[in-house]
Structure 1
Amino acid sequence: MKNHFLWIFLLLLHLQSIGQSTKKPVIAFTFSEETIRVDGLLNEAGWQQSDSITTLGMVEPIENGAPTYNTTVKVLADAKNIYVGITCFDTQPGAIVAFSKARDSELEDEDYLKIIFDTFNDGRNGYIFAINPFAARYDALVSNNGESENSNWDGPWDAKTSINTNSWSAEIRIPVSTLTYNKKLDSWGFNVERRIQRLLEVNRWSGISMDYKVGQTLHAGSLSNVPLFNSGIGLTPRVSLTGKLTQDGTESANYDLKPSLDITQRITTDITAQLTVNTDFAETEVDSRQTNLTRFPLLYPEKRQFFLEGADIFDFGISLGRSLMPFYSRRIGLYNNQEVPINWGAKVNGKVNNTYFGGLVTQTGDVNSVIPSSKMGVLRVKQNILKESSVGMITTIGDPGNRNNAWSGGIDFTYQTSTFGGNKNFLIGVWGMYANREGLDGDKSAVGFKIDYPNDLWDWFVQYRRIGDAFEPSMGFVSRNNISTYSAKVAYMPRPENRVIRQHQFRFSPSLTTDLNHNWESYELSFTPINVSLESGDNFSLNFAPSGEFLKDSFYIAEDVTIEPGAYHWSSFEFEASTASKRAVNGTAAYRCGGFYGGNLDQVELQLNWRLMSFLILEFSYENNIARIPAGDFSKELLAVRTALNINSNLNFSLFTQYDNESESVGSYSRLRWTFAPLGDLFVVYKHNIQPKITDKWRQDQNQLIVKLTYGLAL
């Protein structure tokens, strides 16, 4: 058996070695003694003298085709900053699709420029900066070796744009203190991507393949002549003062004033340490409510900035998704949906040679002697091996409820290549974890593997997971234990040569879950015979899914509705249509119908986006689940409305209101953010919740007004 694995591994190495070898394009830094004014106009002398990228290559709709419009890119540097100047030629500037102005806007559905820096030049990680014609800024960290982006990361940088008669241009300034990098290198990985939304066209400088994503920095070009930057002493202190005025129900309002301190210290250019004291996350947006029609807990995303900085290092395994995480940072500072104060936290992350590492430790306070104070920590180490692969470990210690002897550990190995059989992506990942804590008895382990072939024409995977009955990591997340899960997907996605259809997708996704004694618990066979993306940007799909559940215990699904144990089998149909986001009014509609626990379930989901003006956007979403089953009839509704008023990329206001008929409460969250300096922000937040009394009259549940001022300096 060992010889079989050895031969397989040698075969993979051989297939990787015969991949296409292409020479990387190169652009050089130009050092500028001149002060560059970031105004969107590339009129300083340094821009005229700098090295240039004169055109990009088309990725979509025709791979390696000639771009409809040219794009020029230039890169300057002074002692402390990196400047990128880009000119996007377009003979119809009035037809440019741009509507976002707020910081951290998702720009995928409009014209944008995206630049990537691989500051360790190892083809595995990187920084992503994107901007649209209205100067809305988006930044992210390359995650999962370029397969995804951690868009919650925020770094200090600035950009301005200008729309002209035959082009739009962008001028970007990135303080070198924003980046971690290897100061011994004289070249970095670098790439540029431009999207022309009305044409659904994507152009890129390097890695021109529909199978590759721009975040796969192994296929980036080279940015040479990296200067010896002056990072100063590498210290960035940020002081915040938060005032809160809170009123619960009819009680008297109370006021709280809280200072906090965040310090970032660059130990070396590639190692960064952070300290937070008396931490406050008052400006963090509330969670969007979710409907749960299962017996398993839901996962909510992390939004707090301290935990998002360097979060990519804690990625574990491949494609574990939303059902299993060895480290889930929301375990810190939140306990049973109640906020817990964080007295202090410290973290360090960086790279030494080919080893990435990250560590985090926090101390939480107690809450009215009900939730005890607790110290928690996590350590992650990942070693680069071969060309794109890695092996790593993760360990956590501590428990949110301060239960004794709480720790967990895991190891993972990922073989990855983007030159499989020539120029295709291929991954094999294996992982194992163990969790321990006072009160856990049984199988505390979890193991799994995945073989993945994620490419444009064919996309398939096979996956297996085994999760013990006592696997409950104190600082992780697992939606379901005591199971073995077998899952797969095969998708064939041809691109016909016509003027109507951009791409078809035919997909089959089976999954089977058993208990550890191999007795079936659930299954699903998902068929997608129709999924069509049109050249207009519109999309429609049809899905059919036979499913089944075997319940060993009853579970509560809605008020006065409990589903009893037994075997249930049903089938469901889904139709979904979405209109192109390039339109001022666009949206998505989905309708599902079919069986559900011995009865029927009808589901409707609607989403509408309306750009009333260039600075005013309205988003509406609605979901209704109507069940008629033997256990009882019920409906679950969600309604949410978001209004965004974006004066510019540094001044914006949003109002988010949501209602669900399960809690019967209306919650609103409004936030004004003014970024008055690269490290200075003023937040004004108002939270308001109301719910009905038995008499059907609405009563006030909670009001809270928050004002937070934060300011920092890069020293």
Structure 2
Amino acid sequence: MNSPVKLAIIPFLLFITSAFSFAQESLIIQKNLGQINFDGHVDEEVWQSLPHLPMTVSTPNFGNEPSEHSEVMLTYDDEYFWVGARLYTKDPTTIIANSMKRDERSLNSDVFGILLDTYNDNENGYAFSTMPTGIRIDAAISNDGGSFRGVNQDWNTFWDVKTSRDDKGWYVEMRIPFSSLRFQPVGNTTTMGVIVMRYISHLNEIVTFPSIDPRYGQMAYLKPSLSSEIQLEISKTKRPVYISPYVIGGYQQNWSLNEAGTAYQKANKTTINGGLDVKYSVTSNLTLDVTVNPDFAQVEADNQQVNLTRYSLFFPEKRSFFQEGANIFDFNLLGMTRLFYSRNIGLSNGQPTTILGGARMYGSVGKWGLGLLNMQTDKTSINPGENFGVVRARRDVINPYSYVGGMFTSRIGTNGNKNLAYGLDANIRVKSTGDDYLIVKFAQTFDDNISDLLKQENEKHDNIFAYLGWQKRREEKLNFFANLKYTGQHFTPGVGHVQKQGLYGAFANISYGFMPRNEKSPIFLHGPTFRYDIEKRVIDDKMEWHVINPGWEFETKSGFEAEVDLRYEEQGVHWDFPIWDILIPQGKYAYTTFNVSLSNSSAKKLSYRLGSSIGTFYDGEGIQVELRPRWNVSSNFQLGAMYSFNVLRFPERETKDRLNIHMADLNALYMFNTKLSVSAFVQYVNTSKELISNMRVRYNPSEGKDLYFVINDARFLGDKTAVTPNYPPFYNNTVMIKYTHTFIL
């Protein structure tokens, strides 16, 4: 073999070798043979005998010795995984404790937490954390976390935490039942991944085990791929049955137009209902959920959103039945386009329908992740009953950070109409030690109604979605995400969500992060950003969307963030569309906006987010300002607000169209303790003159026992006599009480 050929083959062999080499040494966790008095003091003899995990600074000064000393210990017994932590503080008056809220979503206090990658798959996990007030915060991690999109804080499970404080610091004891975790033993040994995190709020300092380089971002402590392996000598655990009956009752008043559209008529409705959810761990890694007459009522109202685009809005799933195992059922195609969107279950033509019952099974078997779902809805006067089915499978391949998979969905009506869809996806880390990922997705849908219509018009069926992407996942130095995409005109997943149809194009988001490794520098990260996006219509190859968006981002070690960018945008409007009462005519538009956003650390007593933009807008001009202040009054009381102001002017039109959109909301939360809280939310938009309000009392003495008292109200605040028929005094008023009690057998 000649030398040039050898030189060509050697790098290739090195690449293959590194791509398949990922072994690491595991930390053996000692089993607890003593007694722990679960009180949050961490002073039992058991804790004294355990080794401490070595903690190092992740941010803001990576690799440094922590400013405050921490002693973190892990152990387990036949029933629980135990975590003990002594979080010493030189000056205890600097400990910040601003919340008693279950699942507090802001880093507004000191925090201690642990992430468990229970399948050791380097992609999914469960996070458990607390604050000095002893609150419970848990989340399901998917897609290797590291950002809010991969963190589902609506997920809850059974576990407990106790905390205590003295003049030396604060202390934590966590006990997490193995029955609340999903894991896959091999023989008598279970291997998991673990990350431990302490956030010292007044210093904006994050310390971790293992050592985590901030090049992956300040939320890298939620990335299972960065966890350290631990081993436990446990193969079988209790598999209890969770039986959760609920009862709900309420009174509702609705005003709606009569069939002739000549007047509003009032309908009063008193309801009382009940149902049952059952959860059973078939094995330590497979879970079965069964539901009969489930209650999918939301105890929080969806926020109104100002939509200045031609595309439909996306609202997140808040219903608890779909939370656990949501990562397995995730099939995100592009942006908010999904092959499976659970909010479609229980909706038909935009109207809610009764869900009679259903079942889900999800978990892992070997290298396979599996999910099965089937739900049945009742018929209404205008819609047939429907059956919803989902099958999801994915398998780890090549290295611990990669998978290939597929999904099949069905939506079949009792009238014979059906919508079927399938999808294939692959997420491949090119090297097991690298940051580069190859992402491939393909999907196709089949809808009876669309097929019949196309046959009548003799048109070709354009029902596929295709996607090819490459991503470098890091924040320091070069970071990019690029893809090619195609969405057919008739791509309509009946159990999914499509934001745009009939488009193809390319996208690139590139940034370069300068991360000074100088301890004295106040800057954590700064650097240029550049976004490019182009989409054309399949039907005529004309421009739909074209964006060129350079900018600069800046972040300090104290938590202050700023971003400025200049956005050039072209849009080809295929048909007229309204923004409230202003019509944007069909045509091609080009406009430019200058955008600025600022925010400070959420741990501050008064925190804020401020965003603004100014420039041209279609054939007019626009200014937008949005402010989100939050006041952490005390550990019992939080007050937040939002004000958004949009100014639209079209001076070149003969009609001189103009529009001012004011949207404001106010939210307050009072926490008597970690079990009882009262929250209130009010929102007003001047263009619709609608006021939406929500008040909620929650009593949660322990996981599985929940009492809610909720009042929702929506009403028109303008001149009710200005139009015919006159507006009613309100649109909707609901008073509801709900109680759920979980029995563990």
With normalisation by structure 2, the TM-score equals 0.89
Q: 1:454 aligns with which of 473, 478, 486?
A: 473
Cross-structure match for 1:531: 553
**How far apart are residue 535 of structure 1 and its match?**
2.9
1:195 aligns with 2:203: no
Q: 2:274 aligns with which of 259, 263, 284?
A: 259
Q: 1:694 aligns with which of 712, 716, 720?
A: 720
Cross-structure match for 1:211: 215
Aligned partner of residue 53 in structure 1, secondary structure: coil
Range that drifts further, 89-98 or 704-713: 89-98
1:637 aligns with 2:655: no
Tell me the alpha carbon deviations over residues 65-103 of structure 1, each in whole angstroms, 9 at most, x when there is no partner.
221122222223333222211121211222123312111
1:575 aligns with 2:596: yes
Distance 1:707-1:273 versus aligned 2 partners, 3 A rule: same
- Contact map agreement 2:53 2:209 (CA 8 A) in 1: no
- Contact map agreement 1:578 1:588 (CA 8 A) in 2: yes
**How far apart are residue 154 of structure 1 and its match?**
1.1
Q: 1:405 aligns with which of 412, 415, 418?
A: 418
**How far apart are residue 337 of structure 1 and its match?**
4.1
Q: 2:362 aligns with which of 349, 356, 379?
A: 349
Aligned partner of residue 700 in structure 1, secondary structure: coil
- Contact map agreement 1:188 1:226 (CA 8 A) in 2: no
Give, in whole Å, the separation in 1 of the partners of 2:63 and 2:411: 52
Tell me the alpha carbon deviations over residues 448-490 of structure 1, each in whole angstroms, 9 at most, x when there is no partner.
0110012121211211110111111111111111111211011
Give, in whole Å, the separation in 2 of the partners of 1:563 and 1:77: 63
Distance 1:400-1:226 versus aligned 2 partners, 3 A rule: farther
Structure 2 stretches lacking a partner, 5+ long = 1-7, 256-264, 455-460
Give, in whole Å, the separation in 2 of the partners of 1:402 and 1:461: 44
Cross-structure match for 1:3: none
Range that drifts further, 122-131 or 265-274: 122-131
Range that drifts further, 616-625 or 90-99: 90-99
**How far apart are residue 569 of structure 1 and its match?**
0.6
Structure 1 stretches lacking a partner, 5+ long = 1-6
Cross-structure match for 1:4: none
Distance 1:337-1:67 versus aligned 2 partners, 3 A rule: same
Q: Map residues 128-167 of structure 1 onto 2, 5 A cutoff.
A: 128-147=127-146, 148-167=150-169
Give, in whole Å, the separation in 1 of the partners of 2:378 and 2:233: 46
How many residues of Structure 1 are paired with residues of Structure 2 in the alignment?
697
- Superposition CA RMSD, Å: 2.4
Q: Map residues 545-584 of structure 1 onto 2, 5 A cutoff.
A: 545-559=567-581, 561-584=582-605
Q: 1:244 aligns with which of 239, 242, 250?
A: 250
**How far apart are residue 543 of structure 1 and its match?**
1.1
Give, in whole Å, the separation in 2 of the partners of 1:29 and 1:282: 44
Give, in whole Å, the separation in 1 of the partners of 2:574 and 2:303: 31
1:521 aligns with 2:544: yes
- Contact map agreement 1:162 1:170 (CA 8 A) in 2: yes
Cross-structure match for 2:118: 119
Distance 1:665-1:336 versus aligned 2 partners, 3 A rule: farther
Aligned partner of residue 301 in structure 2, secondary structure: coil
Distance 1:402-1:327 versus aligned 2 partners, 3 A rule: farther
Tell me the alpha carbon deviations over residues 649-708 of structure 1, each in whole angstroms, 9 at most, x when there is no partner.
222111111112233211111111111233211111111222135247982332211111
**How far apart are residue 225 of structure 1 and its match?**
3.0
Q: Map residues 300-449 of structure 1 onto 2, 5 A cutoff.
A: 300-316=315-331, 320-322=334-336, 324-367=337-380, 369-387=381-399, 388-398=401-411, 404-416=417-429, 419-420=432-433, 424-440=434-450, 441=454, 442-449=461-468
Q: Map residues 466-545 of structure 1 onto 2, 5 A cutoff.
A: 466-496=486-516, 497=518, 498-516=520-538, 517-528=540-551, 530-545=552-567
- Contact map agreement 2:446 2:463 (CA 8 A) in 1: yes
Tell me the alpha carbon deviations over residues 28-81 of structure 1, each in whole angstroms, 9 at most, x when there is no partner.
1422452x34322113332223x2324312111222222112222222333322
Give, in whole Å, the separation in 1 of the partners of 2:414 and 2:134: 45
- Contact map agreement 2:60 2:557 (CA 8 A) in 1: no
Distance 1:468-1:241 versus aligned 2 partners, 3 A rule: same
Distance 1:132-1:20 versus aligned 2 partners, 3 A rule: farther
Give, in whole Å, the separation in 2 of the partners of 1:90 and 1:462: 45
**How far apart are residue 104 of structure 1 and its match?**
1.3
Letter of the 2:222 counterpart: G
Letter of the 2:740 counterpart: T
Q: Map residues 34-53 of structure 1 onto 2, 5 A cutoff.
A: 34=35, 36-49=36-49, 51-53=50-52
Distance 1:536-1:269 versus aligned 2 partners, 3 A rule: closer
Tell me the alpha carbon deviations over residues 109-150 of structure 1, each in whole angstroms, 9 at most, x when there is no partner.
432122111222232321111112222222112211334222
Aligned partner of residue 622 in structure 1, secondary structure: strand
- Contact map agreement 1:29 1:223 (CA 8 A) in 2: no
Give, in whole Å, the separation in 1 of the partners of 2:133 and 2:414: 47
Tell me the alpha carbon deviations over residues 526-572 of structure 1, each in whole angstroms, 9 at most, x when there is no partner.
111x322123322222110111111121112212x211111111100
Letter of the 1:703 counterpart: N
Give, in whole Å, the separation in 2 of the partners of 1:242 and 1:337: 23
**How far apart are residue 175 of structure 1 and its match?**
1.7
Letter of the 1:365 counterpart: D
- Contact map agreement 1:284 1:303 (CA 8 A) in 2: no
Give, in whole Å, the separation in 2 of the partners of 1:45 and 1:657: 51
1:595 aligns with 2:635: no
Tell me the alpha carbon deviations over residues 170-215 of structure 1, each in whole angstroms, 9 at most, x when there is no partner.
1112122111112433332222112222222111112522234233
With normalisation by structure 1, the TM-score equals 0.93
Letter of the 2:18 counterpart: S
Cross-structure match for 2:458: none
Give, in whole Å, the separation in 2 of the partners of 1:673 and 1:483: 45
